[in-house]
Amino acid sequence: MQTNSKTIKDLLEADYQYTEIILQYLLDMTRSQIFLNQNLELSDDVWNRFLDIQRDLKDGRPLQYAIGKWNFYGYDFIVNENVLIPRPETELLVEEILKEELKDKKLLDIGTGSGAIAVSLDLENKDNLQVSACDISKEALEVARVNAEKLGAHLDFIHSDLFENIEGRFDIIVSNPPYISEEDYDKLDELLYHEPKTALYGGIKGYEIYEKIIDQAKSYLKDQASIYFEIGYDQGKVISDLLRENGYHDVKILQDYGEKDRIVTGKWLKDSITS
Ligand code: GLN
């Protein structure tokens, strides 16, 4: 029976898509382990999963959903069509927040999706940061819950349309909300239409959700609290203006590794002037 079984080498030499990446996830190996173990024979299970993934890719399904997992900040998150695929640019948001003094602080992630941001922050910070995460989608929240459990994170999940079911005040509010405008949504790469529209489409202008969060957050932020957003590359000015107009201080735009505006952050002071 073993005579027909495939080795890693057989697959690497054949004409499949994304073989290396898929094998890394299926075998739980690093890229170099894949290359150092080329004579390893694949179990029937792995071989069948590999073929299923290849079939999905042929049907146009995004690689991340076909595999069912994707790495974010060093952790493998379960992903499916109910959640946005975690993007490497978003890791920067986690990195920035981890620079803050987080001991005993309370953080809220709005629109958590797969839980990538909230779970990574909870796992990375060992200083009793209390993380809450909400999403309008029950299906997304279920994915986030499973990810938290699987990765050993302890957070509070709340089913909520923005602040609707949120109580209390936070030291940090973070969000990577849907931010694509109507005009841009119609022009997206075909692969992005496999992702939930609720996670991408931000309204006619694209920044409608920021307008709501920035306004409503004032009742949910403590004195000296911070707000962090991921933004579209062309939204730096509009979102930072919105924050300032709403009385936030220390508004900053940060760029990603491609030198595109990617994060906007600001601070809320109790006596911020709200005009
Ligand atoms: N960065 C995503 C993109 O690929 C958009 C994510 C979002 O809308 N929050 O366009």
Query: Going residue by residue through the chain (275 aa), what tens digit of pLDDT does each one get?
Result: 455 689 999 999 999 999 999 999 999 999 999 999 999 999 999 999 999 999 999 999 999 999 999 999 999 999 999 999 999 999 999 999 999 999 999 999 999 999 999 999 999 998 899 999 999 999 999 999 999 999 999 999 999 999 999 999 999 999 999 999 999 999 999 999 999 999 999 999 999 999 999 999 999 999 999 999 999 999 999 999 999 999 999 999 999 999 999 999 999 998 765 54
Separation of CA 96 and ligand 1 centre (Å): 19
Separation of CA 179 and ligand 1 centre (Å): 7
Q: What residue numbers bound the domain in which 137 lies?
A: 84-268
**275 lies in some domain:** no
**68 lies in some domain:** no
Q: Single out the residue of 235, 160, 251 nearest to residue 203, CA to CA.
A: 235
Q: State how far the alpha carbon of 167 is from the alpha carbons of 134, 161, 182, in Å.
A: 12, 13, 32
**Domain match, 25 and 99 both:** no
**Domain match, 220 and 143 both:** yes
Separation of CA 178 and ligand 1 centre (Å): 7
Pairing of strands 221-230, 261-268: antiparallel
**148 lies in some domain:** yes
List of residues 6+ apart from 25 with CB closer than 8 A: 67, 69, 76
**Domain match, 52 and 134 both:** no
Q: Single out the residue of 269, 214, 213 nearest to residue 243, CA to CA.
A: 214
160 lines ligand 1 (CB under 6 A): no
**Domain match, 53 and 90 both:** no
Ligand 1, atom nearest to 200 Cα: 8
pTM of the predicted model as reported, rounded to 2 decimal places: 0.95
**Domain match, 239 and 150 both:** yes
Cα Rg of the chain, angstroms: 21
Rounded Cα–Cα distance for residues 17 and 58 (Å): 9
